Structure 1
Amino acid sequence: MTAWRPVAGRVVCVGETMAALSPDPPRPLADADRLRLSVAGAESNVAMYLADHGIPVSWLSALGADPLGDKVRAAVAAAGVDVTHVRTDPDRPTGLLVKDPGPTGTRVRYYRSGSAASALGPGLLDREPVRGAALLHFTGITPALSPSCRDLVTRALAGPGAARPYAVSFDVNHRAALWPDGTAPDVLRTLADRADIVFVGLDEAQDIWGAGLTLPDLRRLLPGPRILVVKDGARAATAVSRSGTCTVPALRTGVVEAVGAGDAFAAGFLAGLLRGGSTTYALRLGHITAVSALKVTGDHGPLPDGEHIERLLGLTPQDWERYEDSAAPPPSRLPDTAR
């Protein structure tokens, strides 16, 4: 199945990336003697994986004039992402998150109120790199950061999709801690319904819009997107468009950490569409890219080599379902039908 796709060209990912501190080795924060410094940001994760796939991509944000901002900028640039339009704010700090692992999971503590990125606003849309973009990518995190950030995303999604100079993809990416006023369901539904491509987890949608929500329910709730991509955990992902519905099972793989896998999937799916691939091709590339995140402790893991990726993309549906990823590369000989 081949659905609508954005025109090939530069992607601009817009949103906050923070410095991140986590106990090393993992343990409750109160018991930690040492913290590891890394970077964390959904939109820059997508940008880095797009760059890995050879898609021209810029990350657009703001950072403080501080060492943490220097760390974030350098890390994103090192992945091949254009960061030349990221603004340095002399008056506001770079955002920070601290991970607090515990027996029931990891709690994330945010220190991003008043951050440089929280001052982003709709004026960004009048300048490069947005004016030359084929696709803008946002997540539901950005409109939760501040009124000006919400205005930014709202303006980017204003008007019918066909009238916009760029396509817009939107990952719902609900973070309950960022929506203490309870407005998330209405705001996220409104914004998502205006986007061209929407990514949402089925369990995430049920948490936001109602337990028991099914895929048909979700499509009725969000009729606007040209392509609605619903991720069902480790089971499958489904793309619903006006051309029909396409489901591709997830690859079986060991999981080191799930953080960043959704961003990786979105990047792979978008890269598949921008390459002119079918919906099945894009979903498969999304799953392949997600595995790269699942196999590392950070948000951004290395992709398999190009030959490996092409062999996986060429598998028959039956061989795709049987395939199980491991640390080792796949067999050098796949069934003739997979070539």
Structure 2
Amino acid sequence: MERQSPVACVGETMAALLPDRPGPLEHVEAFRHSVGGAEANVARGLVALGVPAAWVGRVGADGFGRRIVAELTASGVDTSGVVTDPRRPTGLYFKEAGPGGSVLHYYRDGSAGSALSPDLLDVPVLRDAPLVHLSGITPALSQGAHELVAALLARRVPGRLTSFDLNYRPALWPPGADAGATLRPLLDAADIVLLGADEAETVLGTGDPAKLRALLPGPDVIVVKDDKHRATAVARTATATETALRVEVVEPVGAGDAFAAGFLAGTLRGLDLRGRLRLGHLAAAGALVVPGDHGPPPPPDRIAALLAASPDEWAATTITRGTA
């Protein structure tokens, strides 16, 4: 059987230091290593769902960079497209956990990831990828990173899909910058667009699925997640909405990337819009019931049963840490 080429997820991955207990950073005695980055999270989520995936990006020639590559490789992600920068360090962030949720503190200025550029266009794993996944984080990192994303979206390859998750991060944009002017043409150039209604309202002026469909005529499908814990997929000739499963949430960070991985996996498997949305919700549920950014999706037999479940059966399902 011919091996399937991996999905290519392109962007910055950082080292993450997670506290051993809640509270202000100055009171934390120890941190544990982890890996953070939207595109790497999606790659890991795809692999967990049985879809080969690669992360393409840059790390520093340091212990954090080596650890990122080793951890992603160990999780089954193809890292053949990772470039090691001999001069710039690997980006880093600390998580601060408190009663109101987590706060992330980034140290990424001048990082290896900020030097992403069109030089990566010739990475072999990008050549045969059935899908290239990007996010709005990358074009905010630097001019070179913006040019890389634009070039990947402009490079039309027969049979290849491109996906773009808005992933708006206000802190990455200079004061007064018009993020919408930069991100709108990139979103419109993708085949699949994923965004939250709240961030779409901020960046594009509306979070309404129908208005976003009119504003972005280019994509084949636009997926909008709203604050009612539901997602709507608007294709050219069809629309579907699916409410998320009830979940006993442990940590929300990483759920959006897991949803993206599930929706993209469903797309590559040829599921209909509702099936793609359900697989996205199932993958997100796996991330929500663990304390880190990555959680395994439910077992394949349970996924199959829930994809085929009636609306009442779906609505009656609750995912907990022990059942995901």
TM-score (norm 2): 0.94
Distance 1:299 1:150 in 2: 26
| Kept in 2: contact 1:9–1:135 (CA 8 A) | no
Distance 1:123 1:261 in 2: 31
1:152 aligns with 148
1:325 aligns with 2:319: yes
What is the aligned counterpart of 2:50 among 51, 54, 69? 54
2:162 aligns with 168
Distance 1:213 1:140 in 2: 16
1:202 aligns with 2:200: no
1:335 aligns with none
Distance 1:300 1:327 in 2: 13
1:135 aligns with 2:131: yes
2:20 aligns with 24
2:295 aligns with 301
1:97-136 superposed matches below 5 A: 97-102=93-98, 104-136=100-132
Q: State the shift of 1:164 in Å.
A: 5.9
CA distance 1:112–1:120, shift in 2 (3 Å) = same
1:336 aligns with none
Distance 1:176 1:132 in 2: 33
What is the aligned counterpart of 2:181 among 186, 189, 200? 186
| Kept in 2: contact 1:266–1:286 (CA 8 A) | yes
Distance 1:321 1:100 in 2: 34
Distance 2:117 2:52 in 1: 24
| Kept in 1: contact 2:80–2:125 (CA 8 A) | no
CA distance 1:173–1:323, shift in 2 (3 Å) = same
Q: State the shift of 1:309 in Å.
A: 1.1
Distance 1:31 1:329 in 2: 34
| Kept in 1: contact 2:9–2:133 (CA 8 A) | yes
Residues 212-221 or 168-177, more deviating: 212-221
Q: State the shift of 1:141 in Å.
A: 0.5
Distance 1:94 1:329 in 2: 36
Residues 249-258 or 101-110, more deviating: 101-110
Q: Deviations over 1:85-128 (max 9, x none)?
A: 21111111110012233454433221111111111111212231
Residues 273-282 or 195-204, more deviating: 273-282
| Kept in 2: contact 1:308–1:329 (CA 8 A) | no
2:90 aligns with 94
Residue segments in structure 2 that go unaligned for 5+ positions in a row: none
What is the aligned counterpart of 1:229 among 218, 223, 229? 223
Secondary structure of the equivalent of 1:157?
helix
CA RMSD of aligned residues (A): 1.8
TM-score (norm 1): 0.90
Distance 2:303 2:100 in 1: 35
Relative contact order higher in (CA < 8 Å, ≥ 6 apart): 1
CA distance 1:231–1:9, shift in 2 (3 Å) = farther
Residues 18-27 or 320-329, more deviating: 320-329
| Kept in 1: contact 2:200–2:207 (CA 8 A) | yes
Distance 1:76 1:172 in 2: 23
Distance 1:254 1:74 in 2: 31
1:268 aligns with 2:262: yes
1:58 maps to a residue whose letter is A
Distance 2:123 2:229 in 1: 41
1:12 maps to a residue whose letter is A
Distance 1:103 1:184 in 2: 31
Residues 27-36 or 149-158, more deviating: 27-36
| Kept in 2: contact 1:11–1:133 (CA 8 A) | yes
Q: State the shift of 1:318 in Å.
A: 2.2
1:201 maps to a residue whose letter is G
Q: Deviations over 1:274-310 (max 9, x none)?
A: 1111111111110000001100111111122111111
| Kept in 2: contact 1:14–1:43 (CA 8 A) | yes
What is the aligned counterpart of 1:243 among 237, 246, 268? 237
Deviating runs (4+, > 6 A) in structure 1?
Answer: none
Q: State the shift of 1:29 in Å.
A: 0.8
Secondary structure of the equivalent of 1:129?
helix
Q: State the shift of 1:154 in Å.
A: 0.8
Secondary structure of the equivalent of 1:36?
strand
